[in-house]
């Protein structure tokens, strides 16, 4: 089988169709069937209530009205959606333009959009998007069909880049991820699937354990929707290579700093700090109730999505041990 196409030179419809073939050939059949969308789950359409089963049911699915009437804990039952509305929030901020592998982070974000789009396209299903650029939050209303999806992919691939800073360039006052998530929360009024594609570095607090500024609004979205957080990273964000003296640039504010990478203690401290930062992102996403899919620019992103879906399906279908207990 020929290798999957890269995204660096994707432009015409022919190459976009090659990308569609690469995605659907390797993922189709895994993400369709009983469930609509990318997340294993029961769906979002109300279908009555039943008694709460400790250790098996999520507390956030509690049906408090029925519980109050019967004095017995009940949870809402949900049917799989027959028509799925998926909202994408694509982070196209300056930090997403970084990359040292075959793809940069922004190109990998487009690949993730393609995977979501090609696999949720169907009769009645609709796909909408909000794109967080360095200067504004751009909204694209939901549409259906391959023509709509191809138009969205072309727009993302052709979108202008910031191009970096020079000494006379002032940092941009761009909208933040929390503001963009609030826009999704206000726009996505019908229950469905929300996919957030970002490096999630926006506004992370320096102190470990503290909540990220976007965590609260993401938690509010997860109460109503199924949420998939696609975390995009690059290998150089995890560790520094030994390449001598380098100048590091903060893409969000333009600050520069010269670093001697030949110091092994510096590289160890960098790797430890990077691991702690990524753990902070994971913890924030877990507390928010979002499913977490990490993708890296130096890995096979389609294979990573396949492994993720297999893992989620196993967890969703695993039997609950007899006598298991859980707390409300």
**pLDDT computed for residue 206 by the predictor:** 73
Is residue 70 domain-shared with residue 88, that is, in the same domain? Answer: no
Mean pLDDT of the region 229-258: 85
**pLDDT computed for residue 33 by the predictor:** 42
Establish if 2 belongs to a structural domain: no
Establish if 4 belongs to a structural domain: no
CA distance readout (Å), 105 to 31, 114, 240, 308: 24, 14, 17, 19
Is residue 167 domain-shared with residue 235, that is, in the same domain? Answer: yes
d(CA 165, CA 85): 38
Is residue 20 domain-shared with residue 74, that is, in the same domain? Answer: no
Establish if 199 belongs to a structural domain: yes
Is residue 159 domain-shared with residue 286, that is, in the same domain? Answer: yes
Is residue 298 domain-shared with residue 159, that is, in the same domain? Answer: yes
Q: What is the CATH number for 286?
A: 3.40.50
Instruction: Inform me whether the pLDDT recorded for 293 exceeds 90.
Output: yes
Q: Which helix (H) or strand (E) holds 193?
A: strand 193-198
pLDDT in tens, 44-64: 445 567 788 776 676 777 888
DSSP state of 38: S
| Reported confidence tier of residue 93, pLDDT bands at 50, 70, 90 | confident
Establish if 324 belongs to a structural domain: no
pLDDT in tens, 2-38: 444 444 444 445 656 776 777 777 665 554 443 444 5
Query: 219 near 288, Cβ under 8 Å?
Result: yes
The number of angstroms, rounded, from the C-alpha of 90 to the middle of its chain's C-alpha atoms is 8
Establish if 198 belongs to a structural domain: yes
Is residue 137 domain-shared with residue 197, that is, in the same domain? Answer: yes
Mean pLDDT of the region 213-230: 93
Higher pLDDT, 199 or 39: 199
Which residue in this structure is represented by tokens 């027959």? 82
Least reliable range by pLDDT among 6-20, 68-82, 129-143, 264-278: 6-20
Establish if 157 belongs to a structural domain: yes
**pLDDT computed for residue 302 by the predictor:** 84
**pLDDT computed for residue 324 by the predictor:** 46
Mean pLDDT of the region 254-265: 86
Instruction: Inform me whether the pLDDT recorded for 196 exceeds 50.
Output: yes
| Reported confidence tier of residue 180, pLDDT bands at 50, 70, 90 | very high
d(CA 32, CA 235): 32
pTM of the entire predicted model: 0.75
Structural domain harbouring 68: 45-79
Establish if 236 belongs to a structural domain: yes
Is residue 177 domain-shared with residue 284, that is, in the same domain? Answer: yes
Helices (H), 37-194: 64-70, 105-120, 145-158, 177-187
| Reported confidence tier of residue 319, pLDDT bands at 50, 70, 90 | low
**pLDDT computed for residue 275 by the predictor:** 92
Least reliable range by pLDDT among 142-156, 186-200, 204-218, 223-237: 204-218
> Token pair for residue 65?
């009205």
**pLDDT computed for residue 28 by the predictor:** 59
Count of the separate structural domains present in the chain:
2
Is residue 74 domain-shared with residue 137, that is, in the same domain? Answer: no
Is residue 102 domain-shared with residue 73, that is, in the same domain? Answer: no
Higher pLDDT, 283 or 103: 283
Is residue 217 domain-shared with residue 262, that is, in the same domain? Answer: yes
Is residue 231 domain-shared with residue 277, that is, in the same domain? Answer: yes
Establish if 298 belongs to a structural domain: yes
Instruction: Inform me whether the pLDDT recorded for 249 exceeds 90.
Output: no
Instruction: Inform me whether the pLDDT recorded for 212 exceeds 80.
Output: yes
Is residue 179 domain-shared with residue 51, that is, in the same domain? Answer: no
**pLDDT computed for residue 72 by the predictor:** 86
Instruction: Inform me whether the pLDDT recorded for 122 exceeds 80.
Output: no
Longest dimension (CA), the chain: 70
pLDDT in tens, 142-175: 998 888 888 888 888 877 776 554 544 444 556 7
């Amino acid at each position: 089988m020929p290798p999957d196409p890269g995204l660096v030179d994707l432009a015409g419809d022919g190459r976009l169709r090659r990308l569609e073939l690469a995605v659907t050939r390797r993922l189709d059949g895994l993400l369709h069937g009983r469930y609509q969308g990318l997340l294993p789950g029961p769906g979002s359409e109300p279908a009555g209530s039943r008694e709460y089963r400790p250790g098996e049911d999520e507390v956030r699915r509690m049906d408090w009205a029925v519980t109050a009437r019967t004095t017995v804990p009940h949870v809402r039952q949900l049917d799989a959606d027959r028509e799925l509305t998926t909202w994408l929030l694509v982070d196209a901020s300056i930090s997403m333009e970084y990359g040292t592998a075959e793809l940069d982070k922004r190109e990998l974000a487009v690949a993730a959009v393609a995977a979501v789009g090609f696999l949720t396209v169907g009769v009645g299903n609709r796909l909408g998007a909000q794109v967080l650029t360095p200067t504004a939050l751009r909204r694209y209303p939901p549409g259906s069909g391959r023509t709509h999806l191809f138009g969205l992919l072309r727009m993302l691939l052709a979108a202008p880049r910031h191009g970096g800073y020079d000494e006379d360039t002032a940092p941009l006052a761009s909208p933040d991820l929390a503001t963009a998530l609030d826009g999704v929360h206000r726009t996505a009024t019908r229950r469905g699937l929300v996919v957030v594609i970002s490096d999630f570095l926006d506004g992370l607090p320096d102190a470990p354990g503290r909540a990220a500024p976007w965590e609260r609004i993401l938690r509010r979205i997860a109460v109503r929707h199924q949420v998939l957080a696609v975390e995009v990273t690059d290998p150089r964000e995890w560790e520094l290579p030994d390449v001598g003296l380098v100048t590091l640039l903060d893409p969000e504010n333009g600050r520069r700093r010269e670093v001697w990478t030949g110091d092994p203690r510096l590289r160890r401290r960098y790797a430890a700090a990077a691991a702690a930062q990524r753990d902070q992102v994971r913890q924030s996403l877990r507390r928010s109730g979002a499913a977490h899919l990490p993708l890296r620019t130096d890995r096979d992103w389609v294979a990573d999505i396949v492994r993720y879906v297999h893992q989620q399906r196993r967890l969703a279908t695993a039997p609950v041990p007899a006598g298991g207990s859980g707390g409300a």
